[in-house]
Structure 1
Amino acid sequence: MKKIINQPEEILNQMLEGLTYAYDGLIERVEGTDVIVRKDRQEGKVGLVSGGGSGHEPSHAGFVGKGMLSAAVCGEVFTSPTPDQVFEGIKAADTGAGVLLIIKNYSGDVMNFEMAKEMAEMEDITVETIIVDDDIAVEDSTYTAGRRGVAGTVLVHKILGAYADQGKTLQEVKEMADKLVPNIKTIGVALTGATVPAVGKPGFVLEDDEIEFGVGIHGEPGYRKEKLQPSKELALELVEKLKAEFKWAKGESYGILVNGLGSTPLMEELVFMNDVKELVEKEGLVIEFKKVGDLMTSLDMVGLSLTMIKLEEEWKAQLEYPVTTVAW
């Protein structure tokens, strides 16, 4: 294992210290916690809190700031943050208008965020939740009952963050979240596994000429292994899976996010985006939002995911809403 680290058990603390030092004009760490909070919190606006295990950088702390998250709660690598830590995130995000928790659908995250919600309500903080389950690869997997939450979560941060910044009430933001999440779907492909520093070896091994469709962001099993294929073939596989889920029609409006999983060169992500472009044009879709980059990674995994969102007109405006964060 080759990693630029010190002691594996110190990675989370040292990463958060480095993050807040590098971007001290935007964010800060809540003392004694693993919570990253925006510096310019505005009174009377809904707070948005997300988080989960570390290893998915820049998610989630990279999206803390004006127009997106109020706070991010960072667990150990691929490990859910504790209820106490999430509670600290809720308290840091609350400015009097309540807090919405954006939770990826993993059993530990759901349980711990829900427990923190109960703790906050005992302190008279109003809290709502939304569970993101955008990964269409498999129905149940390691750590998950139902579909996993993956890169589509970042689009949820973006759209709901815009609504909160515009002064919507907690109930209005919650209603929009419930409407939004079913219209975001993701599927990925991996070329290699990810190496958790404390373990020292990849979570799974693929042969040099092998790929796996549908692998999760913690290395959970996908739905099929194949020999390595050109980007055009990978794009066709993923687009066809999304088409079957959305059952789209010619002329409908969509957005596209091509997300790198950690060690995929941007050059390759852009080649893949070009292949997706050709396919969606043949389908007659109207693409009104596009983004490429590493937003929800899996440590050093080589691979990418394709997220599509069926757009309503107001969601397009929220995706283009200006933000001030480390990573958007």
Structure 2
Amino acid sequence: MKHILNNPESLVVDSLAGLCAVNPALSFDKDNKIVHVTNQDHSKVALVCGGGSGHEPSHSGFVGQGILTAAVCGNVFASPNASQVRRAIDLVHNDKGTVIIVKNYTGDVLNFGLAKEQYAASHAQFADRVKFVIVGDDVAVGRSQGNIVGRRGLAGTCLVYKIAGALAHRGASLEDVYNIAQWTASRVATIGVGLEHCHVPGTGAPSSHLSTSEIEIGMGIHNEPGHQHLSPIPPLSQLMSQLLDLLINQDDKERAFVPFQGSGKDKVVLLLNNLGGISELELSGIVTESKSALLKRGIAIERVLSGSFMTSLNMPGFSITLLLLPTGGTNEPDLPLILSLIDDPSSTPGWKFSSRVPPPAEPTLSIPTSATSTQKPTHTPLPAPTPSTFLSSLESACKALIAAEPQITSFDSIAGDGDCGLTLHAGASAVLASIKSSQISGQDVVGSVIQIASIAEEKMGGTSGALYSIWFSALAQELQRSQATGKGVKEVTGAMWIDALKNALKKLYTYTKARPPSRTLVDPLAAFVDALPDLKTESDVVDPGVWGKAVERAKEAAEKTRELEAKAGRSAYVEGSRLKEEQVPDPGAWGVKIVLEGLGL
């Protein structure tokens, strides 16, 4: 129910003024809430559209060269009145005529239709130069239910705008523009899916909600009820199959509005529309699944369009539209003509990117071009003094991290972005899998450390993964250096570990500005390394108690992060007083503490 605005009453006018700032080629009739092309070419057919606001970029976002000439906007989800529409018809008056395109909603049809008839009555000489097209593409409304009013108009309307507008821009006659708009309107089918209803600014709390496990198929763009509710929410592949059945199944006499032939004869334009509140990440995944589902049914996709075309304010959901392309029948436009009209460039902020080519059946996968990209690292294996102890220590640390995931996640939900525990869990699980597959072995410590660095990079990712990967990569380098400079070295010694740890920390410092105390994972890591003795030679004997004392220093540093002001890392973006109030340690630092304790040093 939250919105960012001055006040609900001025929202539509403020929005249209902003659109004119984005597209200076437009003029704004503030009193009538109309945007129109400033330097209109009066030798070409004009296209007028409109309806209630709240569906942006429809309708105003498609005004510009190559699509619409003017858009008339009502208040949120409310049709503009007839006098507003008459003003728009006057503004776009031209030598060839005007086509009005509206969605099939009662208010829009009545008010735009009334304006057309009033204009014809007062301008008898131009009465035949204003045509009227109604688009109803919603298959959720069956024939019985919509017996009188017909189907609702949804995102398929935008394809009517684009195809008719591009033809008008080419200089076609009024009849040709009108006919192609009518043909397109007869060939589009749309179904919407919502996870929740939207909220109209300035109104009270909505009276109905969907549960957290529920999805609604066929929801209208004004919060109208849908065709059916599903709970639990099915996987996308299963959901997409149900949606396509509603769009193309010719056995469903209630919804077989568009004459799909099947048997591999159909070609379509696929339009995936964001209803306002779904992430681009999800929408692209929906594109992938819808493309796959169509191809499985033998339907050829000639173009894919994806983005926000006709929204329902901030509704979390999407709609899928299919435009059935010409099959060579009589009185049909040519297929290349329709595709070229979709591909024609336009100067409107609402129309989305189009590749102007059919999508590939599968994404083009990159192929390594350099032999070095597939070369395996080479080094001389260097065993641990007791290989079984090396592996058991690693296993113990990994299991401790996995067990601590809920605790670290809870810390990170306050002090960060909530993913630190899951990231460490993923890394630890991958290390255990590598131990099981013998990719990590006590017979090859250097190779094992290199493998752990790779796991941190690939399985953990993010900042933590990069830091861990740099650390272990540096550690491997230092162990190899000690191996190369040491005479007759047959196994990794405690002195070699200490030297490698100290030099790896120096290398890590070249990639992060964090220095203790910083409330980051560097705090316990540095405390551990700094507590280790400075050796004069790599052959110096290391007291076993040294490791335990260093771990204690690391634990103290991790605990102290509860009291520290964040200077770097994830917590630097969290309000300082909250961290002190909650007394939450840094999640990354806590992870290092868990690892060191788990190693049993």
1:102-117 alignment to 2 at 5 Å? 102-117=101-116
1:307 to 294, 318, 321: 321
Residues 148-204 of structure 1 show CA distances to partners (whole Å, capped at 9, x for unaligned) of: 000000000000001111111111111222222111110011001010112132363
1:1-328 alignment to 2 at 5 Å? 1-24=1-24, 26-121=25-120, 122-123=122-123, 124-125=125-126, 126-139=129-142, 145-202=149-206, 204-227=208-231, 228-244=233-249, 245=256, 246-249=259-262, 250-312=264-326, 313=335, 314-328=337-351
How far apart are the structure 1 equivalents of 2:13 and 2:317? Answer: 27
Number of residue equivalences? 326
Deviation, structure 1 residue 307: 0.0
How far apart are the structure 2 equivalents of 1:199 and 1:32? Answer: 23
The equivalent of 2:394 in structure 1 is none
More moved, 309-318 vs 31-40: 31-40
Give 1:217's aligned amino acid.
I
How far apart are the structure 1 equivalents of 2:350 and 2:293? Answer: 28
Q: Secondary structure at the match of 1:88?
A: helix
Structure 1 pair 327/112, CA: closer, same or farther in 2 (3 Å)?
same
Structure 1 pair 115/149, CA: closer, same or farther in 2 (3 Å)?
same
Deviation, structure 1 residue 300: 0.9
Answer yes or no: is the 8 Å Cα contact 1:194–1:203 preserved in 2.
no
Give 2:234's aligned amino acid.
Q
How far apart are the structure 2 equivalents of 1:138 and 1:41? Answer: 38
More strand by share: 1
Deviation, structure 1 residue 273: 1.0
Give the percent of matched residue pairs that are identical in Structure 1 and Structure 2.
39
Deviation, structure 1 residue 326: 1.3
Structure 1 pair 298/41, CA: closer, same or farther in 2 (3 Å)?
same
Give 2:247's aligned amino acid.
L
What TM-score comes out, normalization by structure 1 length? 0.95
More helix by share: 2
Residues 120-159 of structure 1 show CA distances to partners (whole Å, capped at 9, x for unaligned) of: 22234421001000011014879x9110000000000000
Answer yes or no: is the 8 Å Cα contact 1:216–1:222 preserved in 2.
yes
Give 2:261's aligned amino acid.
W
How far apart are the structure 2 equivalents of 1:237 and 1:204? Answer: 24
Answer yes or no: is the 8 Å Cα contact 1:196–1:203 preserved in 2.
no
Residues 64-108 of structure 1 show CA distances to partners (whole Å, capped at 9, x for unaligned) of: 011100000000000000001111111122222111000100111
Give 2:72's aligned amino acid.
V
Answer yes or no: is the 8 Å Cα contact 2:260–2:324 preserved in 1.
no
How far apart are the structure 2 equivalents of 1:161 and 1:23? Answer: 18
What TM-score comes out, normalization by structure 2 length? 0.53
How far apart are the structure 2 equivalents of 1:117 and 1:276? Answer: 39
Give 1:247's aligned amino acid.
F
Q: Over the residues paired in the alignment, what is the CA RMSD in angstroms?
A: 1.6
Which stretches of structure 1, 4 residues or longer, exceed 3 Å deviation after superposition? 139-142
Q: Secondary structure at the match of 2:196?
A: coil
Give 1:318's aligned amino acid.
L
Answer yes or no: is the 8 Å Cα contact 2:219–2:225 preserved in 1.
yes
Deviation, structure 1 residue 11: 1.1
Answer yes or no: is the 8 Å Cα contact 1:194–1:204 preserved in 2.
no
How far apart are the structure 2 equivalents of 1:93 and 1:269? Answer: 36
How far apart are the structure 2 equivalents of 1:8 and 1:193? Answer: 19
Q: Secondary structure at the match of 1:268?
A: helix
Q: Secondary structure at the match of 2:134?
A: strand
Answer yes or no: is the 8 Å Cα contact 1:191–1:211 preserved in 2.
yes
Answer yes or no: is the 8 Å Cα contact 1:159–1:318 preserved in 2.
yes
